[in-house]
Amino acid sequence: MKLELFSQKYELVEKTEIDKVVFLAYFLHQNNGEQEFTVSDISSIMFALGFAKPNQARLKNNITKSSSFIKGSKQGFFKLSAKKLSELRVIIPDISESEEIVSDDSVLPEILLKETKRPYLIKLAQQINSSYENNLFDACSLMMRRLLEVLLIHCFESAGISDSVKDDDGNFKNLKTLINTAISRVEIKISNDVKKDIDKFRELGNLSAHRVKYNCRKDDIRVVRLDYRAVIEELLYISNLIKANS
C-alpha cells in the first residue's frame, strides 16, 4: 500500500500529532520493514504528506512520554512498543507490499528510494513512474535525467570531491561533465556496465528537452528501463544513500 493511500484510508488528517506518529511508525514497520525511526524521519514524512512540519523538540518530548513508544537500539531512535504493535495489528490488516514492488508499467521500484528516507528522491521516483504510466513520456525522460543528475551529485559529495565538479561560482557543472568525471575518477567506483549505459539516459532526456520536433515514445523508455533501474540502484549504493544490507 502506498503511504498516501494509507494516510487517506486511516484519516490521518483527523488524528492528533502523536497518533499520526503511531500510525506512520506502524506503516514503516509493516510496509517497509523499518522497526525504528528518528523524530527527523517522521517529521519529514508528515511534511511530505502535506501536514504541518512538527516542532521536533516538542514531538520528541511527546514521543518519549507516550506509552506507545520505547527507545530504539541507538540514541535518538524510537520504536513502537510490543503492546501497541499488537493492538494495531488487530485494527489494521496486513499492509505489506510483499514482493509486489513494481507494476508491469513502472520504471523504478519506489521502495529503493524510500530506503533513502529522503522525500525529494521519493517524489522523483513517483513522478517518473506516474508520468510513464500516464503516457507523459517526455516528462518521464526529463525526470529520469534529473534523478540521475541528483544521484551523481550525491556520489561526489559522499566521496568528498564535489568541488571537482563545480564551476567558479560554486554551481555544479552540466550533466555531461558530471558523467565524464564520475567515470574517470577512481573515487567513484562505477561498474563497467553502468559506465557503458549511463550516458544514454542523459541523451534521452536531452532529446525531450531540446529537440523541437521530437516526442518521446513509450518504447523509448520501455526498452531501457531495466538498464536505468540498474544504474540508479548502483548510484544509490555508491552515494551511501542506501546500504548493501538494507
pLDDT digits (tens, 9 = 90+) for 196-212: 999 999 999 999 999 98
Say if residue 126 is in the same domain as residue 211.
Answer: yes
pLDDT score for 102: 39
98 occurs within a structural domain: no
Say if residue 149 is in the same domain as residue 60.
Answer: no
- Residue 87, pLDDT > 50, answer yes
pLDDT score for 217: 94
H/E segment holding residue 223: none
Q: How confident is the model at residue 246 (pLDDT cuts 50, 70, 90)?
A: very low
E strands present in the chain? 37-38, 69-71, 77-80
Domain of residue 40 covers: 3-91
CA distances 97 to 3, 31, 32, 132, 246, Å, are 11, 6, 8, 21, 16
pLDDT score for 245: 56
HSE-CB for 108 with a 13 A CA cutoff: 30
d(CA 124, CA 136): 14
185 occurs within a structural domain: yes
Task: With CA atoms as reference, report the closest residue to 24 among 119, 100, 102.
Answer: 119
22 occurs within a structural domain: yes
233 occurs within a structural domain: yes
Q: Which backbone phi and psi does 213 adopt, to 5 degrees?
A: -100, 20
Residue finishing a domain among 27, 59, 91: 91
pLDDT score for 66: 96
CA 226 vs. chain centroid, Å, equals 18
Q: Is the pTM of this model over 0.75?
A: no
Say if residue 69 is in the same domain as residue 115.
Answer: no
pLDDT score for 95: 66
220 occurs within a structural domain: yes
246 occurs within a structural domain: no
* Interval 114-173: pLDDT, tens: 889 898 998 899 889 888 888 999 999 999 999 999 999 999 999 999 999 999 998 999
What is the count of structural domains for the chain? 2
Q: How confident is the model at residue 1 (pLDDT cuts 50, 70, 90)?
A: low
Residue finishing a domain among 62, 91, 120: 91
Residue finishing a domain among 25, 59, 91: 91
44 occurs within a structural domain: yes
- Residue 69, pLDDT > 90, answer yes
Query: Domain holding 151: CATH number?
Result: 1.20.120
102 occurs within a structural domain: no
Say if residue 151 is in the same domain as residue 214.
Answer: yes
